[in-house]
Amino acid sequence: MLDICEAYLIFSGTRENDLISGTRALVGVHVEVERWKIAAAGEAAKLVERGMVVGLGSGTTVAQVVRALAEKKSEAAFVPSSIATQRLVNELGLKLASLREYRRLDLMIDGADEVDADFNMIKGRGGAHTREKIVASAAKRVVIVVDRTKLVKRLGEKMPVPVEVLPFAYKSAIHKLAELGGKPMLRTTPSGAPFVTDDGNYIIDVKFREVTKPKDLEAKIDYTPGAIENGIFTGVTDIVIVGYEGGCKVLRSKQDFINFMRRLKGSLQR
Ligand code: 5RP
């Protein structure tokens, strides 16, 4: 039996009723996924105790964790890894802290773009992976919160690997990263301008056909002159909390991951 978390959500779909049907289907999927994120976020928030110092990543899932923490009026202190998370923590009245005050954090809660069975990850769709890696490295425990669409057999299945680079070095970094066998592309905003990170740098997204040795690739990418940090995370995650159709599931080991994927596949085929 899956030990499904208690967090079930009441959902009202009134807003998308106004939209045309194609859009409505897309919105429906999005809302469903958002519901899974909320279920997993609620479970992650339960791990935060009064007096703890907790690192927070970035993204839509972490935003749900912050909301859940605000809802339970958490009395922990939070070290955000991006301006967006910092803003939300502040707006919702939670206590802010920084790595200048605390060298060691009790916990880090973050999202991810891809997670494999060994809990290796690709992160950085929000371009905040450099600070996230720094904050995670200061934490005693790292908890990753995702919806089930983020679980993959092999990293690189869907996502490119984001690499934060100095703007000065971006052209030469693109050539160097291509030599590692990937297809690098400068990340741009909808207006076509380079996307700029919270620290004033650029992001190069490198699409690899598959990432067979995440730890090796993580190290190799960082040798690129001008590369600050890349979005492959290995050996940092303790627990993965996954939101899905049935609520959420806490994965503590590779076997948990494999069992969950097997059961999920079975239930989706039924
Ligand atoms: C930001 C990240 C995010 O954690 C990751 O992109 C997941 O985001 P979301 O929860 O919005 O899917 O790494 O740099």
Residue nearest to atom 8 of ligand 1 (CA): 59
CA distance 45 to 82: 19
Is the shortest distance between the CB of 232 and ligand 1 below 6 Å?
no
Cα–Cα separations (whole angstroms), residue 186 to 4, 125, 136, 160, 171 = 41, 13, 26, 11, 9
Taking the centre of ligand 1 as the mean of its atom positions, its distance from the CA of residue 105, in whole angstroms, is 20
Q: What's the domain count of the chain?
A: 1
Classify residue 184: in a domain, yes or no.
Answer: yes
The answer, yes or no, to whether residue 16 has pLDDT greater than 60, is no
Is the shortest distance between the CB of 59 and ligand 1 below 6 Å?
yes
**Mean of the per-residue pLDDT values of the chain:** 92
The answer, yes or no, to whether residue 4 has pLDDT greater than 70, is no
Classify residue 4: in a domain, yes or no.
Answer: no
Residue nearest to atom 2 of ligand 1 (CA): 124
Nearest residue to 170 (alpha-carbon basis) of 208, 225, 111: 225
Classify residue 6: in a domain, yes or no.
Answer: no
pLDDT tens digits along 258-269: 999 999 998 888
DSSP string, 118-152: T--EE--TTS-HHHHHHHHHTBS-EEEEEEGGGB-
pTM (predicted TM-score)? 0.90
Classify residue 142: in a domain, yes or no.
Answer: yes
Point out the catalytic residue in the list 6, 34, 49, 132.
Answer: 132
Classify residue 241: in a domain, yes or no.
Answer: yes
Is the shortest distance between the CB of 162 and ligand 1 below 6 Å?
no
pLDDT of residue 7: 37
pLDDT tens digits along 30-55: 899 999 999 999 999 999 999 999 99
pLDDT band at 5 (very low <50, low <70, confident <90, very high): low
CA distance 147 to 113: 10
- Token code pair at residue 114: 């891809």
Classify residue 3: in a domain, yes or no.
Answer: no
115: phi then psi, degrees, rounded to nearest 5: -135, 130
Is the shortest distance between the CB of 149 and ligand 1 below 6 Å?
no
pLDDT of residue 9: 38
pLDDT of residue 203: 98
Which residue from 125, 145, 195, 233 has its CB within 8 A of the most atoms of ligand 1, so it is best to mutate? 125
Taking the centre of ligand 1 as the mean of its atom positions, its distance from the CA of residue 29, in whole angstroms, is 18
pLDDT tens digits along 156-170: 999 999 999 999 999
pLDDT of residue 12: 33
Classify residue 212: in a domain, yes or no.
Answer: yes
> CB neighbours (10 Å) of residue 95?
13
pLDDT tens digits along 168-221: 999 999 999 999 999 999 999 999 999 999 999 999 999 999 899 999 999 999
CA distance 233 to 120: 6
pLDDT band at 21 (very low <50, low <70, confident <90, very high): low
User: Cβ distance 147 to 33 under 8 Å?
Assistant: yes
DSSP state of 94: P
CA distance 50 to 26: 39
Classify residue 15: in a domain, yes or no.
Answer: no
User: Cβ distance 128 to 197 under 8 Å?
Assistant: yes
Cα–Cα separations (whole angstroms), residue 263 to 26, 29, 257 = 26, 21, 10
**CATH number for 164:** 3.40.50.1360
- Token code pair at residue 170: 């971006």
Nearest residue to 107 (alpha-carbon basis) of 45, 33, 165: 45
pLDDT tens digits along 84-133: 999 999 999 999 999 999 999 999 999 999 999 999 999 999 999 999 99
User: What residues contact 32, with CB distance under 8 A and at least 6 apart?
Assistant: none
Query: 83-91 and 60-71 helices cross at what angle (nearest 10)?
Result: 20
Domain range for 101 is 28-269
Q: Catalytic: 16?
A: no
pLDDT of residue 3: 44
